[in-house]
Amino acid sequence: MPVYHSLGSIPPKRHTQFRKPDGSLYAEELVSTEGFSSLYSLVYHAYPPTIVKTLGEPYCVEPKIAREKHLKHTSLIGFNIQPEDDYLQSRKPVLVNSDLHISLAAPRQSMVDYFYKNSQADEVVFIHEGTGTLKTGFGNIKFQYGDYLVIPRGTIYQMEFNGAANRLFIVESFSPIRPPKRYRNQYGQLMEHSPYCERDIKRPADLKTYDEHGDFKILIKKQGLIYPYIYGTHPFDFVGWDGFHYPWALSIHDFEPITGRLHQPPPVHQTFEGDNFVICSFVPRKFDYHPLSIPAPYNHSNVDSDEVLYYVDGDFMSRKSVVKGQMTLHPGGIPHGPHPGSVEKSIGKESTDELAVMIDPFRPLMLTEDAIRIEDENYYKSWQY
């Protein structure tokens, strides 16, 4: 998030001597994105972040593609992903392309014996069910139902859950995740017409310095492989940091909907963007107030992009038989629209309580083997009268 933030102790000037009480130097680290051309933070460690003791054999976690090319409206029943104890093992990629991977996860246990770093992608972790704490060297962020956790690539983290019932919708982006450009001024500040502002952002807090030696397992993801590293010092040994590069969170419940006299197009729901895709939030809102308005969305011919909708909660007036955790994929090349009867049924309604996350990618998505296992094979027939 392009807002300056600082925690802990830092020296008055960057790249200058910053000493411990015993006279030795803290280790300065620059964490930067897009080379030295975009967001960065300066981190001060109790020990150099380079003390590797052993390196294990990497193993593959690349998604297994089951359907590379397709032109079929598809529905996945997300809650049919079975819970697993381990956080990483529970993550099941279902829709992927060269810009992003979309995964579902139902982890039962916190990460306690290892840390994780995604070095190939920013992550957006949407909390569908569960509460807990995202723990990083930058500090902690408490999360709950409806939170988007935005974790920049290269961030070492642990997920601590308060219970065993957790459901996550995860986007891995191979480009930086950022608020929509049209909502930011030339200085990066969110403008008055933005559906959320800096006050809604949850930033890291409660910085604790772990000044510890030992064997610390960090699983690092790069190019579809997990590399097991054992470091000699605790990765959360930050004594202080400042900058613009750090994990942050936004609740979907703090997204303020943009409404109008007539039906508003999907871009008004946009929440984040990456290269070649956007993430949108559909939230409870007043319906259109023109006397002849039709609240249900019109038929739409996907020409340039696929459309993914992840149903979170509420009543969806444009769809029949929607369940929590259901995911629909409407591929580019064929139209989609409201189910039969939904248009007339929507007329006269004043509001909706629907809650959903939408992703529009501008390159076609492929279905994985995990996706095929939870597919509703008859969804494409659901528009029949």
Which residues are documented as binding site for Fe cation? Answer: 300, 306, 336
Among the listed residues 264, 299, 267, the one whose alpha carbon sits nearest the alpha carbon of residue 285:
264
| 263 tagged catalytic | yes
Q: Which amino acid is at 196?
A: Y
CA 222 to chain centre: 18
Question: Terminus-to-terminus CA distance in the chain, angstroms?
Answer: 47
Binding residues for homogentisate: 336
Q: Alpha-carbon torsion 242, 245, 246, 251, what sign?
A: positive
Catalytic residue among 15, 73, 101, 263: 263
CA distances from 51 to 54, 113, 116, 234 (A): 9, 19, 17, 10
Among the listed residues 262, 234, 215, the one whose alpha carbon sits nearest the alpha carbon of residue 55:
215
C-alpha span between 168 and 151 (Å, rounded): 14
C-alpha span between 57 and 226 (Å, rounded): 9
Among the listed residues 288, 291, 292, the one whose alpha carbon sits nearest the alpha carbon of residue 264:
288
DSSP SS3 for 183 = helix
Longest dimension (CA), the chain: 78
Binding residues: 300, 306, 336
Within 10 angstroms of residue 303's Cβ, the number of other Cβ atoms is 9
Instruction: Assess contact for 124 and 214: CB atoms under 8 A.
Output: no
Active site residues: 263
